[in-house]
Structure 1
């Protein structure tokens, strides 16, 4: 979720739930009181202007949903209670784009004077752009299979799909032409989790990582993830060198021409227009 996109909030404070969560058997058997604080990030303006509850999220239903979920399940850790509850709320209430959730446990088995212990987390739907490419076998079918796998994943919502284009190979030029495209998605997966899912889909389509920039049945790359700047051993966001790749910028400009690179602050349209002539003219096969 890009910063500032959903600034309106619906707040639920001190929702009391009697449930059975804890590491010790007596906690699971006897149960205890938990208190829930939740902030739902959404857009309340349509409902506010129309005075229409159907355009908003019914906080009474959210309270009932959280209560029933916490009472119908038993977990050892309140970290798990918070994680699973936040996840289910985001899946069940489509207008809720983000969630702050605190689970407070005032009756925790601590043999010392204390007020309560709690776990507080923030979870949200994230916007991401996934570049797709293939130049082995039936490339368009590989891409169609990848799209189908993404659509089956309940943690991913495919919002837009670009037209496919055929381009000349990049890097190692002695190989077949590529078919390239772009997916715009929303996801509950963290960046590394999303990368793992993309690798799983690649492997299903027979991807083998033998040669850098070499031929492949399927290539799925995270180009942008919100406005995140991130680097780990396995993943860099925004994708390295994306601003110099016609086969990335062209389909991306179809879906998000005004999306700004979080480091250079240039729009996709600007980056595409600034490509050298030799990277645009003649790049499409």
Structure 2
């Protein structure tokens, strides 16, 4: 991927844990590398085909000066977020915030924080079998789109499916979504849980009825095995109500655990039933 670099942008700001740092301020230096496709700009010599680095510099200055942070980690995080939110064509941003005047009683050059943030493709499964099922699924899509860190890029058809498990309950309405997000998987999970709660979701019975269920199925090619989050979703390859709508919007999405595409997993599952 092509890159635009801004190196050692000098900004006077008021960040630090100590009271005198917030009172007196000091110089910070910000270096940014932005991953962006520059081919069209190079071929046309057109500023509209690239990222205006003068505007980015001003955005960095505002972000660094409009708020006082205790930590340069927070300053770097907010600079990265500001750039990604302002420029959808930037796929990834690398931010270094340097603090040469850090209160360290030794000889040193500078203290730096170095972070990389970017856009991620995730696939979500959505389902409901209580109340107005379609309205609950539409609510999930709407709430995700309202979050500035998320863009819903594809929505599958909704399909009626029999409930999974041994609990007697109404049929489900299920679908899948493709999203682009700046959130980490853990932060995305927190947002999803809030949306479920907003729809009145109560986790009373395992595989029981619910107003709204949202699962992270895939997140880039990451494999996560934590107590609260497992990606890819551990049951997705066994569930036609997941694979069918997912194959509609992303047939060639790749499952990093099974090393197969979604359409391949669906075919395997269908052959088992025949």
Seen in structure 2, the aligned counterparts of structure 1 residues 265 and 47 have a Cα distance that, compared at 3 Å, is: farther
Out of 128, 132, 141, which is 1:134 matched to?
128
Q: How does 1:107-186 map to 2 (within 5 A)?
A: 107-172=101-166, 174-186=168-180
The number of residue pairs the alignment matches comes to: 274
Out of 57, 62, 73, which is 2:56 matched to?
62
Instruction: Tell me, yes or no, if structure 1 residue 45 matches structure 2 residue 39.
Output: yes
> Runs in 1 of length 4+ with deviation above 4 angstroms?
none
How many Å separate the matches in 2 of 1:278 and 1:143? 29
Match of 1:22 in 2: 16
Out of 48, 67, 88, which is 2:82 matched to?
88
5+ residue gaps, structure 2, are: none
How many Å separate the matches in 1 of 2:63 and 2:235? 45
> Per the alignment, in what secondary structure is the counterpart of residue 123 of structure 2?
strand
Q: What TM-score, normalized by structure 1, do the two folds share?
A: 0.92
Q: How does 1:179-198 map to 2 (within 5 A)?
A: 179-198=173-192
Match of 1:3 in 2: none
Match of 2:69 in 1: 75
> Per the alignment, in what secondary structure is the counterpart of residue 27 of structure 2?
strand
5+ residue gaps, structure 1, are: 1-6
Q: What TM-score, normalized by structure 2, do the two folds share?
A: 0.95
> Per the alignment, in what secondary structure is the counterpart of residue 269 of structure 2?
coil
- Could you tell me how far 1:257 is from its partner in structure 2? 0.9
Seen in structure 2, the aligned counterparts of structure 1 residues 111 and 241 have a Cα distance that, compared at 3 Å, is: same
Q: Is the contact made by 2:41 and 2:47 (CA closer than 8 Å) also made in structure 1?
A: yes
Q: How does 1:183-222 map to 2 (within 5 A)?
A: 183-222=177-216
- Could you tell me how far 1:19 is from its partner in structure 2? 1.4
State which drifts further: 164-173 or 255-264: 164-173
State which drifts further: 66-75 or 78-87: 66-75
Seen in structure 2, the aligned counterparts of structure 1 residues 245 and 88 have a Cα distance that, compared at 3 Å, is: same
How many Å separate the matches in 1 of 2:207 and 2:215? 13
RMSD (CA atoms): 1.5
Match of 1:12 in 2: 6
Match of 2:256 in 1: 262
Seen in structure 2, the aligned counterparts of structure 1 residues 147 and 85 have a Cα distance that, compared at 3 Å, is: same
- Could you tell me how far 1:173 is from its partner in structure 2? 5.8
- Could you tell me how far 1:277 is from its partner in structure 2? 4.4
Q: Is the contact made by 2:63 and 2:78 (CA closer than 8 Å) also made in structure 1?
A: no
State which drifts further: 229-238 or 141-150: 141-150
Match of 2:238 in 1: 244
How many Å separate the matches in 2 of 1:53 and 1:254? 38
- Could you tell me how far 1:237 is from its partner in structure 2? 0.2
- Could you tell me how far 1:247 is from its partner in structure 2? 0.7
- Could you tell me how far 1:138 is from its partner in structure 2? 1.0
- Could you tell me how far 1:251 is from its partner in structure 2? 0.8
